[in-house]
């Protein structure tokens, strides 16, 4: 192997072998030729039987295999940009075009063959000597410490097969390796291998790895850098995250080059440590993951990075992370709350920040999007909104007393009852019996229809407990539903991507977003304001108008606060991944504190914000035509003796002063109410 003439690194190391005596040189050359002949002979014995048994194996691929599968992966890199125009994260593949042997430094090839396949030039795809050597080493160690696969076999496994350690897979690997050696030259096999081998950090192929770790083209790699990259091949996922371990293995690579005669021992000791480029610190890892999952790049032949412009706000992202981490660091351990999540969006659904957990590096599981948890009383918004649609006055009075529906007997927090209370007071205090009574009066299907209209797509069933949030939702959808109240239009669809490549001057929300006027929005906002001003959400109270609702699931397994102020709609969840109970954490506790701490600083930033260069088209909601009337069972509201009996029993006057069984919508108020039907979730059907 000749020394590399094109290397531009700082060291000037002669990679040519030392000049031994003629006797030693003759002995070494003879030994290497003998090893090659021995390997070739052993291959001949091995292959002869295979050729006889499988005469077509070397002409056509086994199964549905094609040489086109040898091309490097082409998952295009996504470069995500925030509202400031700056990139904040990269997602997708770390990939690049195939490399040609002519552009690869000689010392990289020498390092690769010395470490991975010393008889590559002589074997026919399978190396019996290497296989036997690995077998004895593994037996001696009592465990698997070395594989006997050639570069050709590794290429076959990476391109065609799985990593399963089964006899069937090894048999296919051997036959396909022989076929590949028959179809391609050694140079072509080497180029394909270097173009698709995995180097960790999502990088496939030498070209992509050289750019990721050293920010340079392949031809400029130094000897130290080549050794470092070859070292990663053994365990790329682990070594890419442990630089010290990778450096120690790089020293083994240099020693292997000494053993093969490609490097002098003295020069190997003089090689400096490679200095891989530290991974750029990313903002909004959970946000970036969420956005990336919504993009489907169809062109698989394009390796150029794709700019993706988003509504991500790095300042608000930083505030969100600090608020969540700060409150949990102070009180989380004491109250046995280990995790949390936040979603920050605007009234039009543009998501500007997202926190899916306390530590993205330890757990990229996005609790804001992927986790399904019980919302508790945060779900009561849909119960009360359904009642408002049916004509209920928020200031009317309703009965708070024990209620039984079959075997279901909901209890209030604190186990007390207040008798007749105003509906808005019941909402502010989050009284369970009133929510259930309203749900039964307006109908559980109407509650579900209301939730669907506002974007809840998860499983909901018409059971009595639905009024108290017994069915799981995710934070992103729940926050979007509250955004509809803030916007006065529905549905609000969460979105982030404003453009690819070039950013336009104006963008529009997703199709169908904000299509329908929510005529009950004023009353709903009034109820949410009472929660913050005098109810369970008092810890979230701000100096400006603020709105929100608390939620706590059974046994304090989940705690929520969803609310809005100014143009920002923010949802907070706190809990534990293993669903273990927290120590009496309610939605008015840690979540409300996190929400308040974020909002105080966020609203100050909003005041100082300059007019954005990107304009987002406003919603243009239209009124919906009524498809029928909601009917409210008056005796259900009053808690009469036959409230949940079937049949035509006579009922006395209810809390609204009506003597009939059902309270129908009436007067001018009724003209703005709409009938409900089953919906299809966030991007699904709405009222007709």
581 and 651 within one domain: no
The pLDDT assigned to 158 comes to 85
Print the domain residue range for 176.
23-57+123-184
173 and 147 within one domain: yes
In a domain, 447, yes or no: yes
Helix residue ranges, H only, 206-264:
206-214, 223-232, 236-239, 243-259
456 and 498 within one domain: no
3-state secondary structure 450-467: HHHHCCCCCCCCCCHHHH
Least confident span in 137-151, 514-528, 644-658: 644-658
In a domain, 402, yes or no: yes
Element (H, E) at 631: strand 631-633
Least confident span in 9-18, 45-54, 106-115, 375-384: 9-18
Q: Which of 3, 39, 116, 520 is catalytic?
A: 116
485 and 425 within one domain: no
The pLDDT assigned to 443 comes to 96
Q: State the pairing for strand pair 615-616/506-507.
A: parallel
297 and 362 within one domain: yes
Spacing of C-alpha 209 from chain mean position:
24
- Stretch 242-246: mean pLDDT: 94
Q: Does 13 or 376 have the greater pLDDT score?
A: 376
The pLDDT assigned to 668 comes to 34
Spacing of C-alpha 646 from chain mean position:
48
The pLDDT assigned to 32 comes to 52
Q: Is the pLDDT of residue 587 over 50?
A: yes
Q: What is the pLDDT of the chain when averaged over all its residues?
A: 83
In a domain, 36, yes or no: yes
Task: Enumerate long-range contacts of 637-640, CB under 8 Å, 24 or more apart.
Answer: 637/398, 637/399, 637/437, 637/438, 637/441, 637/663, 638/398, 638/399, 639/399, 639/401, 639/403, 639/437
Q: Which of 177, 195, 377, 553 is catalytic?
A: 377
Secondary structure of residue 8 in the 3-state scheme: coil
Least confident span in 138-142, 454-458, 586-590: 138-142
Least confident span in 121-130, 163-172, 356-365: 163-172
- Stretch 100-120: mean pLDDT: 95
458 and 386 within one domain: yes
Query: Which residues, in sequence order, are CB contacts of 279 under 8 Å at separation 6+?
Result: 201
The pLDDT assigned to 10 comes to 36
443 and 401 within one domain: yes
| pLDDT confidence bin for 308, thresholds 50/70/90 | very high
- Stretch 646-670: mean pLDDT: 31
Q: Both ends of the chain: CA-CA distance in Å?
A: 76
668 and 567 within one domain: no
| pLDDT confidence bin for 76, thresholds 50/70/90 | confident
Is 601 an active-site residue?
A: no
Tell me how many domains the chain contains.
3
649 and 609 within one domain: no
Least confident span in 113-122, 326-335, 420-429, 542-551: 113-122
- 686 vs 154: CA distance, rounded Å: 54
Secondary structure of residue 119 in the 3-state scheme: coil
443 and 400 within one domain: yes
Q: Where are the beta strands (DSSP E) in 533-601?
A: 547-552, 558-565, 568-575
501 and 404 within one domain: no
Q: Please tell me whether the peptide bond between 142 and the residue prior to it is cis, using omega within 30 degrees of 0.
A: no
Is 377 an active-site residue?
A: yes
- 260 vs 543: CA distance, rounded Å: 75
Q: Does 121 or 129 have the greater pLDDT score?
A: 121
503 and 616 within one domain: yes
Say if CB 496 and CB 485 are below 8 A apart: no
User: Which of 144, 167, 184 is where one domain is finished?
Assistant: 184
- Torsion angle of C-alpha atoms 493, 308, 314, 577, degrees rounded to 10: 60
**Percent share of the chain, pLDDT over 90:** 62
User: Which of 160, 184, 208 is where one domain is finished?
Assistant: 184
Q: Is the pLDDT of residue 4 over 70?
A: no
The pLDDT assigned to 670 comes to 33
Q: What is the CATH number of the domain that holds 303?
A: 3.40.710.10
Element (H, E) at 612: none
């Amino acid at each position: 192997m000749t020394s590399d003439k094109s290397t531009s690194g700082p060291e000037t190391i002669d990679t040519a072998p030392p000049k031994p005596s003629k006797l030693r040189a003759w002995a070494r050359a003879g030994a290497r030729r003998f090893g090659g002949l021995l390997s070739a002979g052993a291959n001949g014995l091995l292959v002869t039987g295979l050729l006889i048994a499988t005469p077509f194996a070397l002409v056509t691929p086994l199964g549905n295999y094609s040489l086109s599968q040898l091309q490097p992966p082409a998952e295009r890199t996504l470069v995500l940009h925030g509202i400031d125009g700056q990139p904040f994260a990269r997602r997708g593949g770390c990939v690049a075009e195939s490399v040609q042997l002519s552009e690869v430094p000689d010392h990289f090839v020498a390092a690769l063959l010395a470490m991975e396949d010393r008889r590559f030039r002589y074997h026919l795809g399978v190396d019996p000597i290497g296989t036997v050597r690995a077998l004895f080493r593994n037996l001696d160690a009592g465990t698997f410490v070395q594989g006997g696969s050639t570069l050709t076999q590794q290429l076959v496994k990476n391109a065609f097969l799985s990593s399963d350690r089964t006899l069937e897979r090894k048999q296919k690997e051997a036959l396909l390796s022989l076929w590949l050696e028959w179809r391609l030259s050694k140079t072509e096999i080497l180029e394909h291998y270097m173009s698709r081998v995995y180097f960790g950090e999502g990088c496939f192929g030498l070209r992509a790895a050289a750019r990721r770790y050293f920010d340079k083209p392949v031809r400029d790699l130094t000897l130290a850098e080549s050794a470092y990259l070859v070292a990663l091949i053994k365990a790329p996922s682990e070594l890419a995250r442990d630089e010290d371990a990778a450096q120690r293995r790089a020293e083994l690579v240099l020693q292997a080059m000494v053993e093969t005669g490609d490097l002098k021992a003295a020069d190997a000791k003089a090689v400096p440590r490679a200095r891989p480029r530290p991974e750029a610190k990313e903002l909004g890892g959970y946000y970036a993951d969420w956005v990336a999952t919504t993009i489907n790049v169809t062109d698989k032949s394009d390796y150029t990075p794709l700019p993706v412009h988003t509504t991500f706000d790095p300042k608000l992202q930083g505030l969100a992370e600090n608020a969540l981490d700060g409150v949990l660091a102070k009180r989380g351990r004491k109250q046995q709350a280990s995790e949390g999540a936040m979603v920050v969006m605007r009234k039009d659904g543009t998501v500007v920040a997202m926190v899916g957990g306390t530590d993205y590096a330890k757990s990229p599981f996005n609790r804001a999007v992927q986790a399904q948890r019980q919302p508790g009383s945060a779900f009561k918004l849909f119960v009360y909104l359904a009642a408002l649609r049916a004509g209920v006055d928020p200031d009317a009075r309703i009965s708070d007393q024990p209620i039984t529906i079959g075997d279901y007997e909901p209890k209030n927090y604190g186990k007390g009852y207040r008798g007749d209370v105003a509906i808005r007071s019941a909402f502010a205090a989050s009284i369970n019996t009133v929510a259930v009574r309203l749900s039964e009066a307006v109908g559980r299907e109407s509650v579900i229809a209301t939730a669907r209209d506002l974007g809840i797509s998860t499983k909901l069933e018409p059971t009595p407990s639905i009024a108290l949030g017994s069915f799981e939702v995710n934070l992103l959808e729940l926050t979007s539903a509250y955004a509809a109240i803030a916007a006065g239009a529905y549905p609000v669809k969460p979105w982030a991507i404003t453009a690819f490549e070039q950013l336009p001057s104006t963008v529009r929300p997703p199709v169908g977003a904000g299509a329908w006027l929510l005529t009950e929005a004023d009353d709903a906002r009034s109820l949410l304001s009472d929660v913050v001003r005098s109810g369970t959400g008092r810890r979230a109270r701000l100096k400006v108008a603020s709105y929100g609702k608390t939620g706590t699931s059974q046994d304090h397994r989940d705690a929520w606060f969803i609310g809005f102020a100014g143009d920002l709609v923010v949802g907070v969840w706190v809990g534990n991944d293993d669903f273990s109970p927290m120590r009496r954490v309610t939605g008015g506790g840690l979540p409300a504190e996190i929400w308040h701490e974020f909002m105080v600083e966020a609203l100050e930033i909003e005041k100082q914000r300059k007019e954005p260069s990107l304009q987002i088209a406003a919603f243009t909601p239209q009124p919906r035509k009524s498809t029928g009337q909601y009917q409210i069972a008056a005796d259900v509201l009053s808690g009469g003796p036959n409230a949940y009996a079937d049949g035509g029993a006579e009922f006395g006057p209810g809390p609204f002063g009506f003597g009939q069984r059902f309270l129908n919508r009436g007067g001018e108020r009724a003209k703005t109410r709409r009938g409900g039907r089953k919906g299809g979730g966030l991007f699904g059907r709405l009222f007709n």
